[in-house]
A = this chain, B = another copy of it.
Amino acid sequence: MSTRQLPASPEDDPRVRAVFDDIRTTRNTEYINNLWRMLAFDPALLENTWQEVKHLMATPSHLDPLTKELVYIAVSITNACGYCVHSHTTAARAKGMTDAQHAEFLSIVGLAAKTNQLATALQVPVDAVFDAGAGLR
């Protein structure tokens, strides 16, 4: 079930076709996953979303590809987005995540959520040394 129908022949629209072709080339696969197929109902939304994902996730940059996926999954877990957890865990494996790394990642994600609760529950005042300007004066 979903809140929109999957468009039947999305690639009849040349803007959609161009994005799908770019996804296929960038990822070196024929497969277009459901998020992109659903976003095809609005070509502008599809284009903008894909450009941002491609720019940040599929381009060499200052963080290594696996770290970027782990950050992405961490946010997705915390937001309880099942689709995103599935798609980016798959991507992390494709980028070399081992079982030991996965277990450690899960432990850290769990620990962070736990200490988030403690700090919020106690309303711990932020230490002055954590102020970004503090060390500079």
Residues of A at under 8 Å CB distance from B? Answer: 1-5, 31, 33-35, 38-39, 41-42, 44-45, 48-49, 52-53, 56-57, 61-63, 66-68, 70-87, 89-90, 98-133, 136
Contacts and interface: CB of A to CB of B under 8 A. Distances in A.
A13 to B, nearest CB: 13
A70 B105 CA distance: 11
**Copies assembled:** 6
Contacts of A67: 66-67, 70
A101 to B, nearest CB: 5
- With most chain B CB atoms within 10 A of its CB, the pick from A70, A71, A72 is A71
Contacts of A132: 1-5, 89
Contacts of A35: 115, 118-119, 122, 124
Contacts of A77: 75, 117, 120-121
